[in-house]
Structure 1
């Protein structure tokens, strides 16, 4: 019999954690699993709710961070502390349907897959603008990186111990788990499901946060933006050189003085914008290099009941 560790990152999920655990207990009766809640510096009563659940259920474990380190850090901490033969990563808000877990386990135990992962085939209930940018992210990412992310792929998955150990070997500070799961490889079965809206509470993922998350993923797994900067610099250098020759010849052949203040200002402003954009792209890569070289811990634990026995 395999033992399952269920890793649940939580941020301000006080209304969800109790409902989530009941759902898991209904789907997975018995004691062949543990639930590891990762409290990512919640500002509400999430930690109190998790403590109560842990006191009432011996198979409920938890880690509570000293502050909000972000979901990627919570995922890393959960996988690091999971002891099961199989490890399930799932959100607490029930937008990842726990009812898929038995099917995922079946895919690994009886069908020979290393990973069973869920992907959304619809975005029902999401704002159309958010769905559009999500689609564009996958399209751009797959075009400029050496990996192909499955559109609609989620963090919700069940993995073998070997896969988890492989992910844990990737100890970089700037983490993009969807890319890391793809990078380590292994035989993956994708299980499709319809988008599910939150039962309680509100999402903590704003549009701005999702844009920032997308940028993190692109920078983490592609250097194409840097190549684009070089390409733009080369093209504009050729254009500038050609225009300079044109101006010189025009003056020598026709004695036509340089005119067009508005044109000159437009060119200067345009090129200045391109330069600032290019510096910004290079700066983002330098920022990631800077944070990696500091070698700071990915997270800090303030409170936990793991290994207390």
Structure 2
């Protein structure tokens, strides 16, 4: 049977899956698994009847995979997926969704910045009928840096103005998804998915639950500025074609500037006569028009590059090992990955 195709059985009650991407989190996966087991075992309501904890190792360079093997051997409720190489946070989330078997799936980080104590409240909203429950970070002074608060606010404002979905500031990939939403997402074949935008684009009933960001237990965040920029660009391109239209407007603006500089040069020549001072205006025109051309080509090239990546039809990730496999060769990774669910199945 393909990984992830073993669905819950109704006579045992609903199953909850908690999916946690992990990259160099050897010191956090054990404490997080213990804390989740403590929280989910404390409440014996129907929503907590059964649960599984699914870690996704994004080809960590420390002892994360060895620790996951140990946890899975000690507790059958702990499962894991390990990649052949580093595919990124969004791919890890997708792998977790395809590996998870629950009626409801919680996505969260395993470094304790997403507090596991919030899960009971997420489940309460799910039991009330919400298909998507999004945790929204309430930022207080000292929780995150002023630079991150400012850039996050500006980014979501930009995405709100040019995108086809609205994502509230403070949103993250800390979500609870109903099985119908999980199956729908698993049916998408796009190489680049911006999950927090996609779940809002789907249109299923969504409620928000506020939370205060927790404190990382151990280690340092691997989410560098470059990764944040890559995610921001993916979010814009995945949910908007307006930058292409903006490129056309920019081209017209720079063309107008070029015409004005040409008029200025002609008027200067006729009014002043022969002059060598035209070097400044010439270099200004070349610099302005050159910058405009490179900007427009860059925007178009970003879209074309992503179209090329989609037409290749390469898998978004390759699985090297799961808790049920014996670390097959990397070439077999695609076959060990869970079967993609059809849309709405």
Q: Look up the match of 2:331.
A: none
Q: Look up the match of 2:229.
A: 211
Q: Look up the match of 1:6.
A: 18
Q: How far apart, in 2, do the equivalents of 1:307 and 1:51 lie? A: 11
Q: How far apart, in 2, do the equivalents of 1:117 and 1:241 lie? A: 50
Q: TM-score, normalised by structure 1?
A: 0.93
Q: How far apart, in 2, do the equivalents of 1:222 and 1:238 lie? A: 26
Please list the CA deviations of residues 56-78 of structure 1 after superposition, one character each: whole Å capped at 9, or x if unmatched.
10111111111111111111111
Aligned residues: 306
Matched, 1:15 2:44: no
Matched, 1:85 2:103: yes
Equivalent residue of 1:19, what SS? helix
Structure 1 spans left out of the alignment, 5+ residues: none
User: CA 1:55–1:268 in structure 2 vs 1: closer, same or farther (change >3 Å)?
Assistant: same
Q: How far apart, in 2, do the equivalents of 1:96 and 1:135 lie? A: 19
Q: CA offset at residue 164 of structure 1?
A: 0.8
Q: Look up the match of 2:4.
A: none
Q: Look up the match of 2:137.
A: 120
> Which residue of 129, 134, 142 maps to 2:160?
142
Q: How far apart, in 2, do the equivalents of 1:203 and 1:78 lie? A: 20
Q: Could you tell me whether the CA contact under 8 Å between 2:258 and 2:285 is conserved in 1?
A: no
- RMSD of equivalent CA atoms: 1.9
Q: How far apart, in 1, do the equivalents of 2:57 and 2:254 lie? A: 50
Q: How far apart, in 1, do the equivalents of 2:278 and 2:86 lie? A: 54
Map 1:1-309 → 2, pairs under 5 A: 1-29=13-41, 32-109=50-127, 111-122=128-139, 124-244=142-262, 247-248=265-266, 254=271, 256-257=273-274, 259-306=277-324
Q: Could you tell me whether the CA contact under 8 Å between 1:116 and 1:191 is conserved in 2?
A: yes
Q: How far apart, in 2, do the equivalents of 1:93 and 1:239 lie? A: 51
Equivalent residue of 2:112, what SS? coil
Q: How far apart, in 2, do the equivalents of 1:271 and 1:186 lie? A: 46
Equivalent residue of 1:28, what SS? helix
Q: TM-score, normalised by structure 2?
A: 0.84
Structure 2 spans left out of the alignment, 5+ residues: 1-12, 327-345
User: CA 1:50–1:167 in structure 2 vs 1: closer, same or farther (change >3 Å)?
Assistant: same
Q: How far apart, in 2, do the equivalents of 1:238 and 1:263 lie? A: 15
Q: CA offset at residue 248 of structure 1?
A: 4.8
Q: CA offset at residue 245 of structure 1?
A: 5.0
Q: How far apart, in 2, do the equivalents of 1:56 and 1:255 lie? A: 88
Q: Could you tell me whether the CA contact under 8 Å between 2:59 and 2:82 is conserved in 1?
A: yes
Q: Could you tell me whether the CA contact under 8 Å between 1:87 and 1:159 is conserved in 2?
A: yes
Runs of 4+ displaced beyond 6 Å: none
Please list the CA deviations of residues 219-269 of structure 1 after superposition, one character each: whole Å capped at 9, or x if unmatched.
1211121111100112232343355456556766x5844642112212211
Q: CA offset at residue 105 of structure 1?
A: 0.9
Q: Could you tell me whether the CA contact under 8 Å between 2:261 and 2:285 is conserved in 1?
A: no
Q: Could you tell me whether the CA contact under 8 Å between 2:72 and 2:78 is conserved in 1?
A: yes
